Amino acid sequence: MKRYSVFAIAREAARYHSGWSRAWKSPVPQKKYDVVIIGAGGHGLATAFYLGKNFGITNVAIIEKGWLGGGNTGRNTTIIRSNYLQDPSAAIYEKARSLYETMSQDLNYNVMFSPRGVMMLAQTEHEVRGYKRTAHANALQGVSTEFISADRVKELAPIINISGPRYPVLGALWQERGGTARHDAVAWGYARACSDMGMDILQKCEVTGVRSIGGKVVGVDTTKGAIDCEKLAIVVAGNSGDIARMAGFRLPMESVALQALVSEPIKPALDVVVMANTVHGYMSQSDKGEMVIGGGTDAYNNYTQRGGFHHIEETVRALVETFPMISRLKMLRQWGGIVDVTGDRSPIIGTTPLGNCFINCGWGTGGFKSIPGGGWATAELIAKGTPGPLCAEFGLNRFTEGRFIDESVAAGVAH
């Protein structure tokens, strides 16, 4: 793999960019792999990358029914933060946030990580108490956050209206090292690195069945033929329930659509990420000048990737009071993604009833921000066969043992 650098750009410019090679290969499937990962989104690709980097396992196939990064990885609003309340959640999200900081160097690919800061507005007295509690918990967890005043909120985001008639801003939970990254670049960077390790990324290859013998997985059936494997990882976000049924077990979660939209581009007006959970909306400004806006999940189960007018009206109505200036903007485009939501709003990373079959799912609205941490933990799980410290609490057995990791407040809104 040729390294990307300013010198490489200058060299290729001199020869009309004729020397660039493909970022990743398009191989023919082999008959057998040590590990097959279903899902070439962020978590699937990160799992493969850390299998190779941390454990030297490179005889790996990453199978994707569509195109690489075409699911939720390419359909989110790119927010990165780790200010969660529960210890297991804070640990895995902080691991992810720290990996994002060095990801461009680790992958030799610019993922455009921007630690611009994330603030979660407190617009009721209940939220003030809740966010102060989270700030204290984060201090014990080693996660750097603080509760800031309304005046400091206005200083960080001048376009905000802190004295709204219904929901005035009373303060905010502020994580200075949170921010955003370019979602497509994260997938492309991981894919390029995996391909360079010799892993096979199989696009337009849909899994149609999971084969097992004696209670252990032996392979998968796909639209490109049968593929045998020693270990199987299911990392397909909102479609996890479908693959789990093929493997012979059920998952305690549901799939719903999560919608977002962007405005027409405007001059720089907001250089932080602002989330308003009380009114169910959040907003940041992209490098292209678009206001990236999102809200809550649909109230009913579905698998649609289209947007709906009711969410435009609901989300924008909520944000106009807090950001009056957006009332004059035109919407540029809208989309939806399929998220998988568990009862306690925390992910599932662990073994399954099928031997040598592992799963990473249930991230709900927090999938993008957790990509490197989730991939790191899942790779360790696959390599060792047992959960490591990052995912030990996130197994399927917590639902039968009553060990819930309740993040319904921290993850109940799409961010």
Q: Cα–chain-centroid distance for residue 27?
A: 27
pLDDT in tens, 312-330: 888 888 888 889 999 999 9
By CB neighbour count within 10 A (0-12 exposed, 13-18 middle, 19+ buried), where does 59 fall? middle
Collapsing DSSP states into helix, strand and coil, what is residue 382?
A: helix
Contact 80, 179 (CB under 8 A): yes
Q: What is the pLDDT of residue 415?
A: 45
Give residue 410's pLDDT: 57
Please tell me the distance from the alpha carbon of residue 163 to that of residue 173, in angstroms, as a whole number: 18
> What structural domains does the chain harbor?
26-109+183-251+344-401 (3.50.50.60), 118-179+255-342 (3.30.9.10)
Q: Would you state the pLDDT for residue 412?
A: 42
Helices (H) and strands (E) in the chain, counts: 10, 18
pLDDT at 52 over 80: yes
What's the gap between Cα 50 and its chain centre? 16
Bridging pattern class, strands 357-361 and 348-351: antiparallel
Look at residue 306 and tell me whether its pLDDT is greater than 80. no
% of the chain beyond a pLDDT of 90: 77
pLDDT tens, residue by residue, 268-295: 999 999 999 888 889 999 999 999 998 8
Q: What is the pLDDT of residue 337?
A: 87
Q: What digits encode the pLDDT tens for the residues 154-164?
A: 999 999 999 98
Q: Which residue has the tokens 């599932």?
A: 348
CA atoms within 13 A on the CB side of 201: 27
Task: Please tell me the distance from the alpha carbon of residue 354 to that of residue 368, in angstroms, as a whole number.
Answer: 27
Q: Which amino acid appears at position 84 of this protein?
A: Y
Distance, CA of 273 to CA of 284 (rounded, Å): 5
Q: Which of 316, 305, 313, 250 is nearest to 283 (CA)?
A: 316
Question: Is residue 108 very low, low, confident or very high in pLDDT (cuts 50, 70, 90)?
Answer: very high
CA distances from 372 to 18, 93, 101, 275, 393 (A): 33, 9, 11, 23, 18
Lowest pLDDT segment from 1-10, 75-84, 377-386? 1-10
Backbone conformation region of residue 69, classed left if phi is above 0, alpha if psi is from -120 to 50, else beta: left
The percentage of residues in the chain with a pLDDT greater than 70, rounded to a whole number, is 98
DSSP structural state of residue 366: G
> Rounded to 5, what percent of the chain is helix, strand, coil?
35, 25, 40
Q: Is the pLDDT of residue 414 over 50?
A: no
**Which pLDDT score, from 0 to 100, does residue 312 have?**
81
Whether pLDDT at 22 is above 70: yes
Residue 216 main-chain phi, psi, to 5 deg? -125, 145
pLDDT digits (tens, 9 = 90+) for 120-148: 999 999 999 999 999 999 999 999 999 99
- CA pair distance 245, 209, nearest whole angstrom: 9
DSSP secondary structure code for residue 114 in this structure: B
Confidence of residue 413 (pLDDT cuts 50, 70, 90): very low
User: How much is the average pLDDT of 57-77?
Assistant: 93
| Mean pLDDT, the chain, whole residue set | 92
What band does 80 get if pLDDT is binned at 50, 70 and 90?
Answer: very high
- Give 297's pLDDT tier (boundaries 50, 70, 90): confident
For residue 375, what pLDDT band results from cuts at 50, 70 and 90? very high
Average pLDDT (341-365) is: 95
Residue 119 has pLDDT above 60, yes or no: yes
Contact yes or no for 38/232 (Cβ under 8 A): yes
Q: What is the pLDDT of residue 407?
A: 86
pLDDT in tens, 191-232: 999 999 999 999 999 999 999 999 999 999 999 999 999 999
